[in-house]
Amino acid sequence: MNELIKVQIETKDGINIVSSRVIANQLGKEHKHVLEGIRRMGLNLDPCNFIESSYLDSYNRSKAEYLLTKDGFTLYMFNIQGYNEFKRAYINRFNEMERALKTMQPKLPQTYKEALKELLVQVEENERLQIENKDMKPKAEYFDEIVDRGGLTNFRDTAKLLGVSEKAFIFFLIDKKYIYRDQKGTLKPVAKYVGTYFELKEWVRGEKTGTQTLITAKGKEQFLELINSIKL
């Protein structure tokens, strides 16, 4: 029976979603009733899984809709009776799309040694390119330009400035005990390096707040020296 169900899942900004309009149409419900059902979920209405959106109807009027992720779809369908084949068809398709996405992602280094090797290869490749391209400055001069900017940078931007991958850079800092992951998996600096190599900045997004670890100019200088001293 699943083959009779036309699964309509889209990918937007790297997220697999299904529109509340599609759900209404395939369940034979009025869209307004699906919207009401979603809104009645109250505290379970996570904006990350129920994304508010809009569309233009046949009269060119803006109308509300929700874009549901796999978790949002599953949660909504658990709140209504029946439609088991419809549920299975969509959840199976969501799972297939997630597996396909994972196979497309580059393989992450599994050990520190692998990450270190990757980091060293990138450093050597950058140095080779600098020699071949006379318009590029040697690494020391390039780093002087970074320091002169005087700005704080996050892990991703720092790795880019130093010419290495973010994941290898993070492996490196954890192994050298400059940073660690807390119980939530968040990267945090070791306390004794705060104020020298790292600074902590608070952020606010709506009602959510948090702390971000940023790397200072002195930290970038220290980590560049360590990267250049790597010997396998």
How many secondary structure helices (H) and strands (E) does the chain include?
9, 8
Which helix (H) or strand (E) is 90 found in, with range?
Answer: helix 84-104
Residue 101, pLDDT score: 72
**Does residue 218 sit in the same domain as residue 167?**
yes
Q: Which alpha helices (DSSP H) does the chain contain, by range?
A: 20-27, 31-39, 70-78, 84-104, 112-132, 139-149, 155-162, 166-175, 217-228
Which helix (H) or strand (E) is 94 found in, with range?
Answer: helix 84-104
**Does residue 117 sit in the same domain as residue 217?**
yes
Residue 17, pLDDT score: 92
**Does residue 207 sit in the same domain as residue 123?**
yes
Query: Domain of 50?
Result: 2-104
**Does residue 96 sit in the same domain as residue 120?**
no
Q: Which two tokens stand for residue 114?
A: 């692998």
**From CA 109, how far away is CA 44, in angstroms rounded?**
36
**Does residue 80 sit in the same domain as residue 146?**
no
Residue 48, pLDDT score: 85
**Does residue 84 sit in the same domain as residue 28?**
yes
**Does residue 155 sit in the same domain as residue 92?**
no
Residue 133, pLDDT score: 57
**Does residue 188 sit in the same domain as residue 119?**
yes
Domains: count for the chain: 2
Residue 163, helix vs strand vs coil: coil
Domain final position from 76, 104, 132? 104
Cβ pair 80, 24 in contact under 8 A: no
Q: At what angle do helices 31-39 and 20-27 cross, to 10 degrees?
A: 120
Residue 141, pLDDT score: 54
**Does residue 94 sit in the same domain as residue 118?**
no
**From CA 216, how far away is CA 78, in angstroms rounded?**
48
**Does residue 67 sit in the same domain as residue 152?**
no
The alpha carbon of 208 is separated from its chain's Cα centroid by a whole number of angstroms, namely 17
Residue 189, helix vs strand vs coil: strand
- What single-letter DSSP state applies at residue 2? G
**Does residue 120 sit in the same domain as residue 65?**
no
Q: Which residues of the chain have pLDDT under 50?
A: 1-3, 134-136, 142, 145-149, 231-232
**From CA 21, how far away is CA 122, in angstroms rounded?**
48
Residue 22, pLDDT score: 94
Domain final position from 82, 104, 126? 104
In angstroms, the Cα distances linking 163 to 128, 144, 213, 215, 219 are 12, 14, 20, 15, 15
